[in-house]
Amino acid sequence: MISPIKNQINTIFVHVSDLKQAVKWYSNLLGVEYNLDMVHDPVYNIHINHHTGLTLDGVREIMKRRNPSAYPLFNFHTDDIHKSYQYVKELDCTIDSEIVDFDDFSFFTIKDPDENIIMICTG
């Protein structure tokens, strides 16, 4: 049977309690420009260099009843895990795990201001 659902992730939604704070945090993490005057509830789309988008969702009703996941929601790619780790330290991000190295893959995790766990990884 041919599925009408595409084998493609379109957009990742991250629920946040403070939309402007989240826009600033994610934009700084990714090194993308932003203008807080252009941020309006309930959602904001972060420009991602790929098909998949990142939408910060500031719907507060959802935030009242959610618990942050104990596992990463998604990952951002890096070619240099150690440089990325130093970068997030300089941004004063909350580091959730130290660098874990495998033969062909490395990662570490951080928490955003709402304690969503995000993985930074190679591979």
In this predicted model, what pLDDT tens digit does every residue of 86-113 receive, in sequence order?
A: 999 999 999 999 999 999 999 999 999 9
Contact assessment for residue 114 and residue 17, using Cβ atoms and an 8 Å cutoff? yes
What is the residue whose two structure tokens read 């928490």? 111
Query: What is the model's pLDDT at position 99?
Result: 98
For residue 81, pLDDT over 70 is answered with yes
Q: Which amino acid is at 7?
A: N
With H, G, I as helix, E, B as strand and everything else as coil, classify residue 15.
strand
Query: What is the model's pLDDT at position 96?
Result: 97
Please return the burial class of 12, using the count of CB atoms within 10 Å of its CB with bins 0-12, 13-18 and 19+. Answer: middle
In this predicted model, what pLDDT tens digit does every residue of 41-68 receive, in sequence order?
A: 999 999 898 788 999 998 777 666 777 8
Task: Say what the pTM is.
Answer: 0.90
Q: Which amino acid is at 78?
A: T
In this predicted model, what pLDDT tens digit does every residue of 14-43 receive, in sequence order?
A: 999 899 999 999 999 999 999 999 999 999
In this predicted model, what pLDDT tens digit does every residue of 64-77 receive, in sequence order?
A: 677 788 899 999 99
- Sequence-separated contacts (24+) of 59-63 with Cβ below 8 Å: 59/15, 60/17, 62/15, 63/15, 63/16, 63/17, 63/114
For residue 12, pLDDT over 90 is answered with yes
With H, G, I as helix, E, B as strand and everything else as coil, classify residue 106.
strand
- Both tokens of 120, joined, read 């930074």
